Structure 1
């Protein structure tokens, strides 16, 4: 299950101004929020108790008490280390510890929130697609090209390219018998949206992989696979999100390979023979 910070971030984009004000305060002051009464919290934020109560119910908690308990539980969970910042005073050991905990937490949060039926639907679409394109801009292009590299080992017909102009042209060639997998951490990149809109115009099925299920990219997709992460400072390229997204791709690749075991095995064997020819032979 999502903890409170994850739930808040997943719906943040569709909150109205008062709710965003509440959300921002709770994210910044989880320790205070966990122990505060509803009146005390309303006073600190500068809003009404009714607004706090509505916000808690919006997130799925029956009462403020349930919401308060959930905040406290979130703090005690292993993912709490995930929301700490890297400080200038941190030793190298501490920095390494925080970064690895961030990656582990991203994977745990993503795994706990992925629905098997969504993954199975994605696999059905991949296998039934005439051609599949993987699309991503910036850091997400790494995930897209990683997917291309992996799915070359399957019998599927796939395309991908790191250059944005070529991505647009590839998207223009896909049709209603094809599948587009669009990857974006924020789900708000304008260039990614243009690619997705081109896919939509052509009647192509679209799967979005993003950390924000209420983002424009997610809303424009037929199926959303959510990656959960929280960035710490000094890391502008969403590294934890990349780890989670690459693992989603690994999962799809493995499920496809499992479903098409014989055909995939033949392709992998052929690939290995070709790759082996590029390697230097061992000296006897």
Structure 2
């Protein structure tokens, strides 16, 4: 369910290009990184200047334009200028991009992380495909069983979604072990749903599990940052985030916050399908653990 750049206006061109980055050739990636880093500067450059700055040819710049859905360089410059005009930068421009430069003090580290984490959530919401979300909510709501998969940092998001679904009475499982996940996927069938979460979309554990579930007839949903990644190829529904992982930040909080934003949207969508049942189950589960919370007297003691 990837979009062309012309269709991706709500999320912005830079988010669109960032999502396609791994699918571009190495030379096109150099052009893309210049465009992502400073769209205003790129918009001011001629095709010759941009090609020279990227260490490539004008032909490669044209191929890059077409790869991201543009008819040519003039259209790219117009879109970049519009993108630069709408972007709101923080007072300290050093925090943009997420990189922590050598010698950064704690104030700059805090500003950089908080700004870019917030941007990841905002840009994810802006570019999220509403129709794809509605389709995901529909199949999740009707599913006889939901299996959620994720590895590493994405695993914590998968566990969070499983716990949310479980609390409102949905039959849902999260399998952190790949072998167990594969055997579980082999038992899914028509009417069941498998949701795989992978920031890069290239984690073979998650891709293989989703592929197994699909071959058994289950509906598959992928949540990834890259719409042309391998996990998207084995998914019936593709949902995308818009987070950038940079220096020191592989598996960063930004990607998890973006994933959690999408997961929360799906959860609320499913929960709202039957408000009475949801309210009853949430109250019952809250009451079940109420006695496990320390009272004011016990805390003072």
TM-score by length of 1: 0.90
Could you tell me whether the CA contact under 8 Å between 2:98 and 2:245 is conserved in 1? no
- 2:252 matches 1:242: no
Greater alpha carbon shift after TM alignment, 153-162 vs 123-132: 153-162
Post-superposition Cα deviations, 1:51-86, rounded to whole Å, max 9, x if no partner, equal 423432442334423322433444451368541411
- 2:140 matches 1:126: yes
Post-superposition Cα deviations, 1:82-133, rounded to whole Å, max 9, x if no partner, equal 4141123222121111111111111111111112221111111011111001
Could you tell me whether the CA contact under 8 Å between 1:206 and 1:222 is conserved in 2? yes
- 2:281 matches 1:272: no
Distance 1:29 1:255, change over 3 A: closer
Secondary structure of the corresponding residue to residue 182 of structure 1: strand
1:140-219 paired onto structure 2 within 5 Å:
140-219=154-233
Distance 1:121 1:139, change over 3 A: same
Distance 1:54 1:280, change over 3 A: closer
TM-score by length of 2: 0.85
Take 2:248 and 2:82, find their aligned partners in 1: how far apart are those partners?
A: 28
Could you tell me whether the CA contact under 8 Å between 1:159 and 1:170 is conserved in 2? no
- 2:265 matches 1:251: yes
Post-superposition Cα deviations, 1:167-224, rounded to whole Å, max 9, x if no partner, equal 2222222112210010000000111112112112211110000000000001210001
Greater alpha carbon shift after TM alignment, 56-65 vs 178-187: 56-65
- Stretches of structure 2 that go unaligned for 5 or more consecutive residues are 1-9
Could you tell me whether the CA contact under 8 Å between 2:98 and 2:247 is conserved in 1? no
TM-superposed deviation, 1:234: 1.4
Could you tell me whether the CA contact under 8 Å between 2:225 and 2:243 is conserved in 1? yes
Post-superposition Cα deviations, 1:8-37, rounded to whole Å, max 9, x if no partner, equal 222233334543343245446656523211
Greater alpha carbon shift after TM alignment, 127-136 vs 39-48: 39-48
Aligned CA RMSD, in angstroms, stands at 2.3
Could you tell me whether the CA contact under 8 Å between 1:131 and 1:156 is conserved in 2? yes
1:55-134 paired onto structure 2 within 5 Å:
55-75=64-84, 77-78=87-88, 82-134=96-148
Take 1:29 and 1:231, find their aligned partners in 2: how far apart are those partners?
A: 17
Residues matched between the structures, number = 284
Could you tell me whether the CA contact under 8 Å between 2:98 and 2:113 is conserved in 1? no
TM-superposed deviation, 1:257: 1.2
Distance 1:232 1:48, change over 3 A: closer
- Stretches of structure 1 that go unaligned for 5 or more consecutive residues are none
